[in-house]
A and B are shown apart, each in its own frame.
Chain A
Amino acid sequence: MKYATIKKEDLNNWLKHLQKKARLYAPKKKENLYIYRPVKDINEVTLKYIPTILPPKKYYFPQKEKLLKFMAKPFKTSKAIKEFEEYILFGVHTCDIAGIQCMDVIFREGPEDPNYLNRKEKMIIIGIECLEYCDKFANCASMGNHVPRGGYDLMLIDISEKFIVHVNSEKGERFIRGLAYIKEADEKDMLALEKAREAKKKVFKEEFNASLPQVYEAFNKHFDSSVWQDLAKRCVACGNCTTVCPTCYCFDVWDEMELSFNEGMRYRIWNSCQMEDFAKVAGGEDFRKGRDGRQRHRYYRKFKYPMDKFNRYFCTGCGRCTRSCMAEISLKETVNTLLAEGEEQK
């Protein structure tokens, strides 16, 4: 079974089924925004949402993660996490799935990161394909992440009264097997899928004013562009952009002691390259002192460095950095300004 269908009225039944199988996380509304939460009330689950405040990375790369349990005297260490439990990420946008693929590349590269890989192994991803833009901040079409490109177990596509379910892994098949309300897709369904994808082509247009390779070229050429000074004037170095980014993974390592001051836990905690002391060394030298350099670093870690190393852009196009920026720094605008700079110099 490669393609299945589920009627919208059966969705809640399926969610109940999933809830029994593994820990279930799904998007729900929070005031005017959306968040990923463990599902308690299935009626709160929504599939029509703009990207959640935090990407689902909080589940596979927790904001504060146990690394090591320790005792100072006598010197002893033990595993901080004994077992990783299976969990389902439900209703994941394709941009966020691209984000997970980026994280895979980072944490699989030697030396491997067992914490991430253990969590990844226990993850089941059920995606939802967007047929419309979430809002004006997204640049997923330019990044090519508005359509599914693997990295999920099941993918839902809305074809009015039903969802098509693309079964992309054996693991995914386990979660639809033996359910009377999930049927194999017939020719009519497949036609409807094709129609939905055709209609989508008219909706999603590349958001950057040039092709992706040209964007890369612009980054290659304009390291010393005045764009970065302009960003520095506005940036307040709050770190929102990196916190909400599905492909930002920088961290700090902290110890926390129990009251005995002998036993404790070592954690890694999200950190941000936008913070003032991020690249400052013991000798006092600060290698990325200005906000211009720090903002530039963030952009280059999305559009240039990972391309050189992994042939992969680390911008997923989700638009979160723009949405969450207090200074209204827009990624689309920044990239387009950089592209325009290239034009002027020609």
Chain B
Amino acid sequence: MIDREILLEKMKTSPYKPMRGKIIESKMLTDKEKFFRIELEGKINLAHEPGQFVMVSIFGYAEAPISVCSSPTDKGYFDLTVRNVGVFTDKLQKLGKGDIVGIRGPFGKGFPIDHMFGYDLVIVAGGLGIVPLRSLIRYITYNKNDFGHVQILIGCKTPKEFLFQEETKEWMKRAEIKLNCTVDRADPDWTGNVGLITTLIPGVDIYPARTYAVVVGPPVMYRFVIKELLKKNIPEHQIIVSLERRMRCGLGKCGHCQVEGIYICQSGPVFDYSQLKDFKGECHEKVL
């Protein structure tokens, strides 16, 4: 992939130099989350793997690691969805169409799509977990002949925090996809499931040996969801997770994202559970 080579070359000569990324579209998805569509200089493709992340720069505010939420099959642009949680993201949310941000990356290891072909998938998204998973779901819907049956389980605290609602409806129309949502607390308009996402798993019908489960969400969710998935006899190496860690460089140097001897920004953020379960400390995502 030629774009990938350009990007790798850039990273080699000057790994701290961001590329120019122009915001070509932006909208608030909820009270707290904003969506951005970004075009790189020369309209080169980010050429990322679903599940990878980029370092976004705003000069004067430094950088933050943000998951890419579009598929590499979306050409000429890529998408980010950012929750307002601090100084950097607050500033980012004030930007809109036409504004420029700096982009470094993509970094890390994405979802192992080369291994997942020909398998059934159970995708479990908790809260903001749907953001990196959107890159995978969009990839699947583009390459729909490559995968078996796809079941998507989405959970969030309240219906108001439900991200990508319109797109979710599109996904639901597809024959190969079965989608189920739940909220922790309903509001009067909500007609769907109420309860934690773990309650949806026992009802999922799978053939475990040929199923990959891909789980992204907050640490506490992993502990309970993975437990349920193991009960379903999905092999540990077929349970895929993505770890959130503090990252300042993306280059496996700054030390913030380290779990034991591993730099999550380079060796992750995506791991399978057989790797995860051997971490002794610092890994709050493990089943206790």
Tell me the A residues contacting B by CB distance below 8 Å. Answer: 67-68, 70-73, 75, 77, 79, 106-107, 109, 111-114, 223-224, 249-255, 257, 261, 264, 266, 268, 271, 273, 278-283, 285, 287-288, 293, 296-297, 300-301, 304-306, 308-309
Contact = CB atoms under 8 A, between A and B. Distances in A.
Contacts of A112: 12, 15
Interface residues of B, number: 45
Nearest to A265: B59
Given A250-B255, A281-B244, A305 B260 contact: yes
A285 B260 CA distance: 17
Nearest to B62: A255
Contact of B248 (A224, A251, A293, A306): A251
Interface string B249-278: 101111111111100000000000000000
Interface of B: 11-18, 20, 59-64, 83, 85-86, 89, 100, 102, 128, 218-219, 244-246, 248-249, 251-261, 280-284
19 contacts: A68-B17, A75-B20, A75-B100, A77-B17, A77-B102, A109-B252, A113-B251, A253-B249, A261-B60, A266-B16, A266-B59, A271-B248, A271-B255, A278-B256, A279-B258, A281-B245, A282-B83, A285-B284, A300-B261
Nearest to B22: A75
A257 B60 contact: yes
A60 to B, nearest CB: 14
B261 A305 contact: yes
5 smallest A-B Cβ distances: which pairs? A305-B261, A250-B255, A72-B59, A75-B100, A67-B16
A106 B253 contact: yes
Given A271-B255, A283-B85, A114 B14 contact: yes
Contacts of A67: 16
B219 to A, nearest CB: 5
Main secondary structure of the interface of B (DSSP, over half): loop
Contact of B251 (A79, A111, A281): A111
A84 B12 CA distance: 18
Contacts of B281: 223, 288, 293, 296
B52 to A, nearest CB: 14
Contacts of A282: 64, 83, 85-86, 89, 244, 246
Given A75-B20, A280-B246, A285-B218, 19 more contacts: A67-B16, A73-B100, A75-B100, A77-B18, A106-B253, A111-B252, A251-B249, A252-B254, A252-B256, A253-B254, A254-B62, A255-B62, A264-B60, A278-B246, A279-B245, A279-B246, A287-B282, A288-B282, A306-B261
A271 B13 contact: no
A118 to B, nearest CB: 12
B12 A273 contact: no
Contacts of A279: 245-246, 256-258, 282
Contacts of B64: 282
